[in-house]
Structure 1
Amino acid sequence: MIYKGDYFKVIEFFGVFFIFMTFIIILFLLNILTSIWAYRDSLRRGNSKEYSLIVLLGTLFFPVVGLIVYYVIRHDS
């Protein structure tokens, strides 16, 4: 026998799941955008493509730490 409360639990679960997945997707897209920005910024500052690729990979795999390290080591004009 199925009770009415079971339907609300299922709806609540999918609501929380949807909010969680939306948050994860937004964080993933933000990570990609900041990595691309760091790569392009490194190229614009006259660094080599190899250095810029290292910056891209560093910020892609270590988002917060990589971006902080890039801010510290980049050369301000």
Structure 2
Amino acid sequence: MGSTTKVLNANRLKIGISIFDVMPYDKAAERMTYVHRALESGQLQVYEYELEVEGQIHYEEARLIREHVTFVTQWLH
């Protein structure tokens, strides 16, 4: 029993694209704060946020962890 998740700016998702191109500036800046924390600390970073997609508010949780010195993996729930 799965559900379909709508993606913000799905037509812009490509390898190498900036998060600032697919998310509102304030949400992208917040995400990058947690990316930097994950890179610097090596610790799992978890935070919750709201995101409006097609007029509906979605409540999400992001989990970010450093995989390499310059690479962060993200899970969304």
TM-score (norm 1): 0.30
Please state which structure has a larger fraction of its residues in helix: 1
TM-score (norm 2): 0.30
Please state which structure has a larger fraction of its residues in strand: 2
Higher relative contact order structure (alpha carbons within 8 Å, sequence separation ≥ 6): 1
* Largest Rg, 1 or 2: 1
